Amino acid sequence: MGETVRWLTPEEQRAWRGFVRLHERLGGRLGRMLQSESKVSPADFAVLVNLTDVPEGRQRYQDLARALEWEKSRMSHHIARMAGRGLVVREECAEDARGAFVVITDAGRAAIEAAAPRHVEAVRELFMDHVTPAELRVVAEISERVISKLDEDLA
């Protein structure tokens, strides 16, 4: 407890608070748009995007939870709700009796295919149209570097 706190400088605080506000406001706006126009929650969208990004549209529960940074209980409850709506199914793992897969259904694919065009349009309207290509490269580099460090810390 005797460590000295490295308080943020005014410049660091401005950048950090701006980043947090940007993240919160973009997430809120995109989430409301998804929910109202596509009837897909931001959490549903995140699950479906992850499942469409992997072969066969299936992923182990633990890997999906890790990718989304979700606790086991949140993952279990949310997947149960999505399964109840027919967006995903739970598949037992033959190699590991304790493991299971989350698998996207045809209804889940239809939901993401319907939501994705409007989502990408909103991403362009709310973010991409307001940054230059050079700024976009910097955002990508910063994001990749910080994510890499977070992944290292997790391992």
> How is the chain split into domains, by residue range?
13-154
How confident is the model at residue 2, as a pLDDT?
67
How confident is the model at residue 99, as a pLDDT?
79
Distance set, CA 143 to CA 76, 116, 150 (Å) = 28, 22, 10
How confident is the model at residue 97, as a pLDDT?
66
pTM of the model: 0.88
Q: pLDDT tens digits, residue range 129-153?
A: 999 999 999 999 999 999 999 988 8
Phi, psi (deg, nearest 5) at residue 88? -140, 165
Distance set, CA 128 to CA 16, 63, 72, 115, 120 (Å) = 20, 30, 34, 18, 10
Architecture in CATH of 13-154: Orthogonal Bundle (1.10)
Q: pLDDT tens digits, residue range 22-67?
A: 999 999 999 999 999 999 999 999 999 999 999 899 999 999 999 9
Distance set, CA 27 to CA 40, 41, 50, 54, 76 (Å) = 14, 11, 17, 24, 23
Residue 1 has pLDDT above 80, yes or no: no
Sign of torsion over alpha carbons 46, 49, 55, 56 = positive
Q: pLDDT tens digits, residue range 77-126?
A: 999 999 999 999 999 877 766 779 999 999 999 999 999 999 999 999 99
